[in-house]
Chains A and B, each alone.
Chain A
Amino acid sequence: KAGVTQTPRYLIKTRGQQVTLSCSPISGHRSVSWYQQTPGQGLQFLFEYFSETQRNKGNFPGRFSGRQFSNSRSEMNVSTLELGDSALYLCASSLGGGVRETQYFGPGTRLLVL
């Protein structure tokens, strides 16, 4: 089975621009979570989608948004980029997002904001 894939792998943007990142989960997985990883803050939960609905959201401003499609693929969007948005963005998939379930992570998208 193919793993979680994320595109693009690397991205350079300038302040004020917006960006869209894509995540394709493992086949059959319906839950997709997004995390931001930075050296200072570590791994922080952004949001989780299940069956095209956002079920949970972390403590991030409204500039961070996402969606999920009927095939479980997910996108996250960051509008009005700030320098502090530079990070590795990881998505993870699981069967149903249950708290006991293993989340399988993609390789991440590294975003640099100049």
Chain B
Amino acid sequence: AQSVTQLGSHVSVSEGALVLLRCNYSSSVPPYLFWYVQYPNQGLQLLLKYTSAATLVKGINGFEAEFKKSETSFHLTKPSAHMSDAAEYFCAVSVLGGSQGNLIFGKGTKLSVKP
């Protein structure tokens, strides 16, 4: 069975600092990985996704993530945090042969950005 672990339920950074949100997955078959962001009282918005093409994936708002099979990781980074990045971030996985329409989510990481 597939699963996702997000280390750190809360992460706080200063404006302009590096953002690093950690995601590790567990899957016996090659995964497809997604990062979503959720702003208060809103639904989820896709930041980026990995579907077995390039291992370094660039997304919206300056975010990127690198798929590392050896480490079973897909950490999300942004070189310089902005106040508007404060939100909750979710890593999710699906797999070839898995059930359609079913994303398995991590517990989420709430990002705070200090001025």
Contact = CB atoms under 8 A, between A and B. Distances in A.
A72 interface: no
Nearest to A104: B46
A107 B105 CA distance: 17
Contacts of A100: 32, 51, 94
What does DSSP make chain A's interface, helix, strand, loop or mixed? strand
B42 A107 contact: yes
B22 interface: no
Nearest to B104: A45
A56 B46 contact: no
A105 B44 contact: yes
A63 B38 CA distance: 28
B101 A55 contact: yes
A50 B44 contact: no
A98 B94 CA distance: 9
A94 interface: yes
A90 B43 contact: yes
Interface of B: 32, 34, 36, 41-46, 49, 51, 90, 92, 94-108
Interface of A: 4, 31-33, 35, 42-45, 48-50, 55-56, 58, 90, 92, 94, 96-100, 102-108
